[in-house]
């Protein structure tokens, strides 16, 4: 007997990249040497001192019991100390921090915590597709904010129609940005706080790539902005900062009412994360951060190698300011999906088509800098052999 899916499941956004993964797996199964630049999965192992902390914590029988509801005090205190040390932001561990099962969980849960059916959410376009999932699960309405190159991939609040501003209750932002690699400025965040206060909008800043900034420009935390805690929260994940993507641990920080809503929702969904994972996460946040600086340097070197290599073959693109992604313009005559398919079929190079991140992602492909410098150079050489750019140039 086969049971029918609920209407909620039927209406969830289609996973655009599932078809890409299938194509990639078929190429690999056929024996092709594929260079995968389409993923967002860190390629380095978790630092040894964090693994050691986890090993010790796993052996502690106290951690084999149910964890405390709303996360361990030690992890929340570690998160507060981390924010004080790294950003100069003071947080109440109990009232202003919520432990999350990875950043994605919080991002998807939030619309269900704060919205009713029909409420409006402002979402960046292009942006992380799982924002859309949270909106749909809450039966809310999504309005997109175009991220355009001429505005440094920042939303222009002045372009949002007045009726949308008045209806909006929640807004997602993400800097350093996936997929564009752009960074936000203190002035932009100050404008964001003013905009959110004027219209009663809760800001959710996805700070997943908060540790990854280039050319000496350290990413700015939204919570460093005066008044930020009055209007929203920031979600921090350990996935990228410490190569802990598979560990599924993160936290939300900021406005106490939003944190309480998240905690209340999670009280009904879970007990809490395995305490050993929380102990290891606290170690990561409180330990010497040299491993983070070394990782940032590794990504910056890869970025420089990639940009130099592609410019050498005639593929002009702006160097990303942060994250581990490069946002590459598609040649004339191709859609983003057509160009991504061509690179896979003819060069065995995987990229993510921009259309998968929203309407305004069309005209670009996203490249992940999550392989060695040698493989990045090789990918550029394979693309050069297609002679695309010499023939057509590139367009934005």
Q: 206-234 pLDDT, tens per residue? A: 999 999 999 999 999 999 999 999 999 99
Give the strand pairing for 364-368 and 250-254. Answer: unpaired
Per-residue pLDDT reduced to its tens digit, 16-73: 777 788 888 999 999 999 999 998 889 999 999 999 999 999 999 999 988 889 999 9
How confident is the model over 363-390, as a mean pLDDT? 95
Give the pTM: 0.95
Q: Do 344 and 268 share a structural domain?
A: no
Tell me the pLDDT band of 393, cut-offs 50, 70 and 90. Answer: very low
Does residue 191 belong to any structural domain of this protein?
yes
Last residue of a domain, one of 245, 270, 286: 286
pLDDT of residue 17: 76
Q: State how far the Cα of 111 lies from the Cα of 220, in Å rounded to an integer.
A: 24
Alpha-carbon span 265 to 278, nearest angstrom: 19
pLDDT for the residue 247: 95
Residues 335 and 186 in one domain: no
**Same domain membership, residue 138 and residue 11:** no
Closest CA to 369 of 352, 346, 392: 352
pLDDT tops 90 at residue 248: yes
Contact 240, 368 (CB under 8 A): no
Q: Which of 256, 235, 241, 359 is nearest to 289 (CA)?
A: 241
Residues 281-291 have pLDDT tens digits of 999 999 999 99
Note whether 41 and 52 are same-domain residues: no
Domain final residue, candidates 286, 311, 329: 286
> Structurally, how many domains does the chain consist of?
2
Query: DSSP state, 280?
Result: H
What is the CA 314 to chain-centroid distance, rounded?
A: 29
Mean predicted lDDT score pLDDT of the chain = 94
Residue span of the structural domain in which 207 resides: 48-286
Q: What is the CATH number of the domain that holds 240?
A: 3.40.640.10
Q: Strand, coil or helix: what is 4?
A: coil
- Hey, which residues does 125 pair with through a beta bridge? 146
The domain spanning residue 35 has which CATH number? 3.90.1150.10
d(CA 38, CA 365): 9
Tell me if 328 is assigned to some domain.
yes
């Amino acid at each position: 007997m086969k049971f029918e899916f609920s209407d909620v499941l039927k209406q969830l956004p289609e996973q655009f990249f599932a078809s890409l993964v299938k194509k990639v797996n078929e190429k690999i199964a056929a024996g092709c040497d594929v260079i995968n630049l389409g993923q967002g999965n860190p390629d380095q192992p978790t630092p040894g001192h964090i693994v050691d902390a986890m090993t010790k914590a796993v052996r502690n029988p106290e951690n084999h019991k149910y964890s405390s509801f709303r996360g361990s005090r030690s992890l929340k205190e570690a998160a507060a100390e981390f924010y004080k040390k790294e950003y100069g932001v003071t947080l109440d561990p109990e009232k202003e921090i919520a432990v999350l099962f990875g950043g994605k969980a919080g991002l998807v849960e939030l619309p269900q915590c704060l919205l009713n059916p029909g409420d409006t959410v402002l979402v960046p376009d292009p942006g992380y597709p799982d924002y859309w999932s949270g909106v749909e699960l809450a039966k809310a309405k999504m309005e997109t904010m175009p991220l355009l190159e001429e505005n440094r991939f920042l939303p222009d609040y002045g372009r949002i129609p007045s009726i949308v501003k008045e209806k909006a209750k929640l807004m997602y932002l993400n800097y350093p940005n996936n997929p564009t690699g752009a960074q936000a400025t203190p002035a932009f965040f100050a404008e964001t706080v003013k905009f959110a206060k004027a219209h009663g909008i809760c800001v959710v800043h996805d700070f997943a790539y908060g540790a990854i900034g280039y050319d000496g420009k350290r990413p700015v935390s939204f919570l460093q902005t005066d008044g930020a805690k009055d209007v929203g929260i920031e979600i921090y994940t350990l996935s990228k900062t410490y190569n802990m993507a598979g560990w599924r641990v993160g936290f939300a920080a900021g406005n106490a009412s939003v944190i309480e809503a998240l905690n209340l929702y999670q009280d009904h969904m879970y007990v809490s994360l395995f305490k050993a994972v929380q102990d290891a996460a606290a170690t990561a946040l409180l330990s010497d951060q040299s491993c983070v600086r070394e990782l940032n340097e590794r990504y910056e070197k890869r970025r420089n190698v990639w940009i130099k290599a592609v410019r050498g073959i005639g593929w002009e693109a702006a160097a990303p300011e942060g994250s581990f992604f490069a946002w590459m313009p598609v040649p004339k005559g191709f859609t983003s999906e057509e160009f991504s398919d061509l690179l896979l079929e003819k060069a065995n190079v995987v990229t993510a088509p921009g259309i998968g991140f929203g309407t305004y992602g069309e005209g670009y492909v996203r490249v992940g800098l999550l392989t060695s410098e040698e493989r990045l150079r090789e990918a550029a050489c394979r693309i050069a052999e297609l002679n695309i750019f010499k023939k057509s140039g590139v367009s934005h």
